Amino acid sequence: EPGSDDEGANARTIPELRAAAEGCRRCPLWSDATQTVFGEGPENAIVVFVGEQPGDQEDIAGKPFVGPAGKMLDAVLVEAEVDRSEVYVTNGVKHFKFEPRGKRRIHAKPNAGEVKACRWWLDRELAILKPSLAVALGATAAQSLLGKTVPITKMRGQVVEREDGLRVFLTIHPSYILRIRESADKEAERGRFLADMKAVKRLM
Ligand code: URA
Ligand code: SF4
């Protein structure tokens, strides 16, 4: 039933789950965003990448990681020889949260309640996909996957095992690299992210 609390509970495939999430009202973020941006990728994916939330471009396209952060992620995955056909990409929060600033929409961080509400969908994606590894891109993704806050800068590159046995690889969010202004620092951080993605490749 659209808008009901157990919507999506009986979905057995990703397309069924995606359709159920279109009308989600579990938290207030649906009201200002364009659409639910659900995960995407093959149903037999070995690895699930989890971001924070769709950005401006993802909100309009209805697809995850198609904007600047997605381009950075794609380029590094190619370099790390991670095959995109083996990867499912999604977000911890599936609606774009933003502050209007003139004509622009500026990314706003989802709060703990929104992350918790949207975990409903991520949990069901993981139950259907049964990946061998999840990659948390940044602190919000880690919070969503592990149900608690984790210090990403301290724990990046590490694998944490959940109670259900799912291995979660912790790393930074690619948009962090994009925000660094000094080019040597940016290159260094991109190099660290590439090393993390090569570690993911070995864990696959
Ligand atoms: N950042 C994210 O965390 N997810 C997206 O889909 C795009 C940018
Ligand atoms: Fe539902 Fe998640 Fe959107 Fe909130 S952000 S309305 S929980 S899909």
pLDDT category, 3, cuts 50, 70, 90?
Answer: low
Atom of ligand 1 nearest to the CA of 68: 8
Q: What is the pLDDT of residues 140-186, one digit of tens each?
A: 999 999 999 999 999 999 999 999 999 999 999 999 999 999 999 99
Report phi then psi at 78, rounded to 5. -60, -45
Ligand that comes closest to the CA of residue 121: 2
Q: What is the amino acid identity at position 181?
A: R
Ligand that comes closest to the CA of residue 137: 1
Q: What is the pLDDT of residues 107-119, one digit of tens each?
A: 999 999 999 999 9
Token pair belonging to 202: 């070995």
Q: What is the ipTM of this complex?
A: 0.96
Is the model's pLDDT at 84 over the cut of 90?
Answer: no
Token pair belonging to 131: 């990946």
pLDDT category, 201, cuts 50, 70, 90?
Answer: very high
Asked whether 24 lines ligand 2 (CB < 6 A), one says: yes
Taking each helix axis as running N to C, give the angle between helix 68-79 and helix 183-203, from 0 to 180 degrees, rounded to the nearest 10: 60
Asked whether 115 lines ligand 2 (CB < 6 A), one says: no
Specify the CATH number for 14-203; select among 3.30.300.30, 3.40.640.10, 3.30.360.10, 3.40.470.10.
Answer: 3.40.470.10
